[in-house]
Amino acid sequence: MNLTKSILALALLTGSAMANAADEDPYLWLEEVEGTKALDWVKARNAESQKALEADPSFKPLYERLLAINNSNERIPYVTKIGTRFYNFWKDANHVRGIWRRTTLDEYRKAEPRWETVLDLDALNKAENANWVWKGADCIEPEQDRCLVSLSRGGGDAVEVREFDIPSLSFVKDGFVLPEAKSAVGWKDRDTLYLGTDFGPGSLTDSGYPRTVHEWKRGTPWKDARKIFEAKSDDVYAYGFSDYAQGVRHDGVVRVPAFFQNETQLFRDGQLVKVPKPDDAEVGFFRDYALITLRSAWKPGKRNFPAGALVAIKVDDLFAGKDKFTLLFEPTAKRSLAGYSTTRNAVLLNVLDNVRSRPEAMLLDGRKWKRHAVPVPANADVNLYAENPDMSDNYFMTVTDFLTPTSLSLGVVTGKEHEVLKRQPAYFKSEGLVVEQHEATSKDGTKVPYFVVLPKDRARDGTIPTLLYGYGGFEVSQTPGYYASAGAGWLERGGAFVLANIRGGGEFGPTWHQAALKANRQRAYDDFIAIGEDLAARKITSPRHLGIQGGSNGGLLMGVMYTQRPDLWGAVLCEVPLLDMKRYNKLLAGASWMGEYGNPDVAEEWAYISKYSPYQNIDATKTYPPILFTTSTRDDRVHPGHARKMAAKLIDLGKDVTYYENIEGGHGGSTNNQQAAFMDAIGYVFLWERLK
């Protein structure tokens, strides 16, 4: 089940609220995203930063190298099967915004497949004088001949939705069209959509996402769609869904009261009935079974399932209260479920074992679930995903690690071998590099793992320029992978790259995430500090040569590291960050993350948030390391005001600050390969010159 299709814009504060806050915050005017004064400030900072960074002799060759990687025709064109063909969205030097294209499996097997263009975004932009960015397509099941195509102006989360006809390769005349918004929209049937969007006052939550669910009939105005469900204003959002699971359809609505909670209701005999499960558990479907992923322990009847488990039960038995559960995955201290996908007859489990992927499969034979071994290479990071959940037991398998270019293979659940379809070329020189996994001891005694990639024969005397990357939030795991830009921009130059697995992530299941929620947030920061200190203790590097990088929630991590331990880092790269945690819940989608951080408007919760909020913890008397802030004007998820205000405040205090804001790009920071290469290049140039 696709839990979120796309989601939408929210109102800024009222003038009076802005005025009151301005009395306390002299930089509040920088929150006016497209205000003339604010954009003038941005353009001036961009000009300064671009001039300084591009003047570095390493910038141009690095940018050109990264752009060549981004545009390489030897990249793996990952595909999704729609109907009988395989679809791919592709960007390169000739297709800046990209093309949606398709081919057959026989063609895909070839070194240079013949592709048929389905939709050319560059041509569409030229015809409409627009700057559309691809945000995906949702195709009706099981026919898969009509799709809802989502297009974003400049890369933000807000999208325009248009109905697309696969047989004619064209938008449907007088078909479904929804204007730009952070909408939640999906198929109910061929002539009906489940719709959540901005219907006017009261239709959005405090987080700026759809609050109501409607049924929109073909040929009628979207504004007249019949409302079938309404969530609360302080919920995160609500949406309707129709899940076609291996021939069995499940319709319902989901109310999301907090980021990691959901109340799922199914239509049963025409009425919405709440699924009997924990509110923090996710539910998906496989045939007539419910698949329930647990974030906390659950005791239905006489059963006792641990947090992190995946259980299956027939939907009718679940509603009847019968004890007919099957435990598909049971976690351990080191093993967790990273996710699953379904084929015609099996559930593919992507399992993390000490932060390395070890996939498994559960095959449904009649009414019996059987564990099925998946033949996978040893000592590699492996992930499986279904080719087409309803049509076959085929699956795609990716194999990768820090030094091995990714390969894509095709397998079948009951098979013993895989057919290699594509291999990524080597984009950087890995000879002489070695990968190690270590543990650091955090402040409370917790062992925190991390990976380090470094030159094998270089002396460990504390002088290796080292880049430590971290995230630590929202149950997102950081796993090994072939990071071509880091390889070309950092490792090849003699540096070391470190991937942190701090609490707040999902590396060891939901308990690893929950250990750093709200009042315990400091644990994630202590973990990251412990890794930095451990790197120095092992003499891999030292503070003078140790740089750190993170974006979004990882940008908040960077801000905290900058303010709490400025002595431990030689330079900081802070990307699309949250930084003003006093006001984050009032900016764009910020209110939706209060389940992660807490509510700063509640005195008891601000008491612990205030201790780490970077913007409020700047000390004019401290010496801080050089810092580069990057963000995007078109980021409608994390407000660019966070980076703007923090940078402005530090600049006025005379600190060493570099700032660059991409005028478009959304939360990803870029919309095309050129922008992505530029953003990576300025980051690596900034860090290397300060850490070498």
User: Is the torsion defined by CA of 262, 505, 374, 110 positive or negative?
Assistant: positive
Torsion angle defined by CA atoms of residues 441, 445, 449 and 450, in that order, rounded to the nearest 10 degrees: -40
Give the gyration radius of the chain's Cα atoms.
25
Instruction: Tell me how far apart the alpha carbons of residues 474 and 254 are, in angstroms, rounded to a whole number.
Output: 19
**Phi/psi at 526 (nearest 5 deg)?**
-65, -40
Q: Which amino acid is located at 64 in the chain?
A: E
**Nearest-angstrom CA–CA distance, 327 and 144:** 32
Tokens 């939030």 belong to residue: 473
What pairing do the DSSP bridges indicate for beta strands 159-165 and 170-171? Answer: antiparallel
Q: What is the 3-state secondary structure (H, E, C) of 87-140?
A: EEEEEECCEEEEEEEEECHHHHCCCCCCCEEEEEHHHHHHHHCCCEEEEEEEEC
Burial classification of residue 370, based on how many CB atoms lie within 10 Å of its CB (0-12 exposed, 13-18 middle, 19 or more buried): exposed
Q: Which residue type sits at 233?
A: S
Q: Is position 552 annotated as part of the catalytic site?
A: yes
* Per-position b or e across 587-597, b if 16+ CB within 10 A of its CB: bbbbbbbbbbb
The catalytic residue among 95, 409, 667, 670 is 667
Q: Which residue among 552, 613, 632, 670 is the active-site one? A: 552
Query: Is position 642 annotated as part of the catalytic site?
Result: no
Name the pairing type of β-strands 627-632 and 546-551.
unpaired
Helix or strand or coil: residue 394? strand
CA dist., res. 575 & res. 640, Å (int): 10
- Helix H, strand E, coil C: the string for 25-58 is CCCHHHHCCCCHHHHHHHHHHHHHHHHHHHCCCC
Please, is 668 exposed, middle or buried when counting C-beta atoms within 10 Å of its C-beta (0-12, 13-18, 19+)? buried
SS3 of residue 460 by DSSP: coil
Q: Tell me the torsion sign for CA atoms 440, 442, 447, 449.
A: negative
Q: Which residues are catalytic?
A: 552, 667
